[in-house]
Structure 1
Amino acid sequence: MQQTNRPELVATCWLTAGAAAPLTADERSPERIEDRVRVAAEAGFTGFGLLHADLVTVRDTMGYSDFRQLLVDAGIQYLELEMLVDWFRDDSAGEASALVRRDLLNAAAQLPVRHVKAGGDFSGSPWPVEAMVAEFRTLCEQAADAGTRLGIEPIAFANIRTPADALRLVEDAGHPAGGMVLDVWHLGRLGLPMSVVQDVPVEAIVTTELDDAVDEVVGTLLEDTLNERRLPGEGTLDVVGFIRAVRATGYTGPWGLEIISHEHRAKPMAQGVHDAVRAALAQFALADEAAPQA
């Protein structure tokens, strides 16, 4: 049976951030939060993403009460917050991560936060599995107490690289608030078939993300993911296959649009958002078509 309803979309944090770039000295968006929320709502998003740096700005300027009303007035139903890294460390990086964790979970207790995104070690360094599992379980407990879920994202250049890696962590932690974030970019850059997604239990999928990439990696994988992502359908990744594989699990949740690139940052913010929506909906239309007969 074909899917006919418009997919539920999340404007991930970088989609509306304008000229801001990840892992820079100042990651804060130059765009007004009121404009970001308005543009996302006008483009048909029901979910809205915020980076920790922008969340802190919102907290310290308008406050959470006024921000919550801004979301309600715009018809935005929930938030996605990111990005929690180094949560498994016991050094100075771990101390900094604990402060980010506090901010994200405090916000989740006061705002309609559907989920918080987390990642593994971007250097790919191995960490004791038992320690990571124990701390992830603690994170899940804290997320549940704040009324939200925690999604670990398999990242092509991190120590948690594949959906199988993420599922192992989630299952070993054994807490229902824990799950994973599935991004077609990371599967594609690892050369994984999109069918691997069908091995993930639907209850373990917190959210999904769409984007695209060309065949050639530009620079390192980290540089490529921060600067060269393409709109869905404008690269060579099997975005349609990813959508179909995720749907085959029974997943009916939201789809985030995460476009991070020099090209996206150079566009007027509203244009970049609307371009991404048009591109994504075209891929859903293809996925809705009947699969070819063997």
Structure 2
Amino acid sequence: MADGNVYTGRRTFLKATGVGSGAALVGSGTVRADERAEQTGRHDDIELHGTYWTLAGDTNPAPIPGREWSRFSLEERVELAAEVGFEGFGLWHADLQHIMREKSLAEIAAIFDDYGIDYIELEFLGAWFLDESDERRQAAEERWQLLLQAAEALDAHHIKVGNIRGFEAPRSQVATAFERLCQEAARHGTSVGLEIMPVDPNVTSLDEAAAVTGAPSNGGILLDTWHISKMEISMEDLTQIDRDNLVHVELNDGYNSGESITYQTTRQRMLPGEGTFDVSGFIDSVQEIGYDDPWGVEVLSDYLRGLPIEAAFQRTYDQTMAQF
């Protein structure tokens, strides 16, 4: 499905089903965050964190082969993110490696400090739970050391881990490996968030996620509207999560285009409030358990990647804040 057809396809879907008929469409006069605030007064204390893929511009996210690092300089992205209102910023391991060809971790930290960004997310680690003899685990260990060094230098809030590739392992082995990650992360002053997702055969529910992440004090679950919706986890189930076991929350939206889950996940996500997911219910449920940290917004979208960076950042901020 071509870039422009993502939203055309959604219109067709909504018209046929009658779902979400009140949601704003791209180009149809999305409510600005400041206007929504005057109407509701709901987001006086809300802080937003722009995840890597949302603020990276035209990239090719895994597992699509291609360039994962941003063509825009880190300083350019951070300056613009702070200007539109973001108070957090995310870095992907490949982008971090690219930046570090020219800048030290101390110089990277100084950029965040200069623009008042003090909520940093680092990602992504996979294969961390496989057997030590597995080459994929060995490659993951090298990446893990990079992320740990960066977490300490940048005072990162958390490192995101998960199972994007859908590798299989006993759940007890996953839990033991997660506890090890948290112990090592603690020595570098950061936390670990396990992102639950529908492609992970080892952790298929909130209860299983809690069992894997419940032991370490600096680790827990990372919720993403996209994955929660695709896994058909109910809003009621979300309210049963232990707040102390919730590391971070990410917002987005979408619809079922009929494409593969990988295609939809990496190319067809939508800004919060522009799809058919129950974003409002998701926010209310997470707030009900006491979540008050910055909210991430993670939108992997051909449409968003095609916008000028200024328009993409401003539109993302305004549309996300309008949901509160």
Regarding TM over 0.5, the answer is yes
2:237 aligns to what? 196
Paired AA for residue 112 in structure 1:
D
What is the RMSD of the two structures over their aligned residues, measured on CA atoms?
1.4
Contact 1:20–1:265 at 8 Å: present in 2 too? yes
- Give yes or no for the alignment of 1:146 onto 2:185: no
Give the whole-Å Cα distance in 1 for the aligned partners of 2:185 and 2:301.
30
Q: CA deviation at 1:165?
A: 2.3
Most deviating of 27-36 and 186-195: 186-195
Q: CA deviation at 1:134?
A: 1.2
> What SS does the aligned partner of 1:10 have?
strand
- Give yes or no for the alignment of 1:88 onto 2:133: no
Summarize the Cα distance change of 1:260–1:247 in structure 2 as closer, same or farther, 3 Å threshold.
same
Asked which structure has the greater RCO (Cα within 8 Å, sep 6+), the reply is: 2
Q: CA deviation at 1:130?
A: 2.0
Q: CA deviation at 1:264?
A: 1.0
Contact 2:159–2:193 at 8 Å: present in 1 too? yes
Q: CA deviation at 1:235?
A: 0.3
Q: CA deviation at 1:218?
A: 3.8
> What SS does the aligned partner of 2:322 have?
helix
Q: CA deviation at 1:15?
A: 1.2
1:288 aligns to what? none
Q: Report 1:10-159 matches (<5 A).
A: 10-23=49-62, 24-90=65-131, 91-120=134-163, 122-123=165-166, 125-159=167-201
Most deviating of 33-42 and 188-197: 188-197
2:265 aligns to what? 225
2:283 aligns to what? 243
Q: CA deviation at 1:217?
A: 3.5
What is the number of equivalent residue pairs in this alignment?
A: 279
Residue-by-residue CA offset, 1:41-87 (whole Å, 9 max, x unaligned): 01111111000011112223111111111111111013100011110
> What SS does the aligned partner of 1:181 have?
strand
Paired AA for residue 99 in structure 1:
E
Summarize the Cα distance change of 1:167–1:192 in structure 2 as closer, same or farther, 3 Å threshold.
same
Give the whole-Å Cα distance in 2 for the aligned partners of 1:68 and 1:121.
28
- Give yes or no for the alignment of 1:271 onto 2:316: no
Contact 2:172–2:212 at 8 Å: present in 1 too? no
Q: TM-score, normalised by structure 1?
A: 0.91
Contact 1:218–1:228 at 8 Å: present in 2 too? no
Paired AA for residue 150 in structure 2:
A
Residue-by-residue CA offset, 1:152-180 (whole Å, 9 max, x unaligned): 00112212233222111012xx1101111
Give the whole-Å Cα distance in 1 for the aligned partners of 2:312 and 2:208.
33
Contact 1:156–1:162 at 8 Å: present in 2 too? no
Summarize the Cα distance change of 1:224–1:8 in structure 2 as closer, same or farther, 3 Å threshold.
same
Contact 1:86–1:97 at 8 Å: present in 2 too? yes
Paired AA for residue 162 in structure 1:
S
Paired AA for residue 182 in structure 1:
L
Give the whole-Å Cα distance in 2 for the aligned partners of 1:56 and 1:93.
19
> What SS does the aligned partner of 1:191 have?
coil
Most deviating of 161-170 and 64-73: 161-170
Q: CA deviation at 1:88?
A: 0.8
Summarize the Cα distance change of 1:213–1:33 in structure 2 as closer, same or farther, 3 Å threshold.
same
Q: CA deviation at 1:257?
A: 0.7
Give the whole-Å Cα distance in 2 for the aligned partners of 1:190 and 1:279.
24
Q: Which runs of 5+ in 1 are unaligned?
A: 285-294
Q: CA deviation at 1:234?
A: 0.4
Query: Computing the radius of gyration over CA atoms, which structure comes out larger, 1 or 2?
Result: 2
Q: Which runs of 5+ in 2 are unaligned?
A: 1-40
> What SS does the aligned partner of 1:156 have?
coil
Residue-by-residue CA offset, 1:246-271 (whole Å, 9 max, x unaligned): 00001111100101011111111221
> What SS does the aligned partner of 1:280 have?
helix
Contact 2:43–2:321 at 8 Å: present in 1 too? no
Give the whole-Å Cα distance in 2 for the aligned partners of 1:158 and 1:272.
30
Contact 1:162–1:187 at 8 Å: present in 2 too? no
Residue-by-residue CA offset, 1:89-141 (whole Å, 9 max, x unaligned): 13111111111101000111211201000002532x53112221111111000
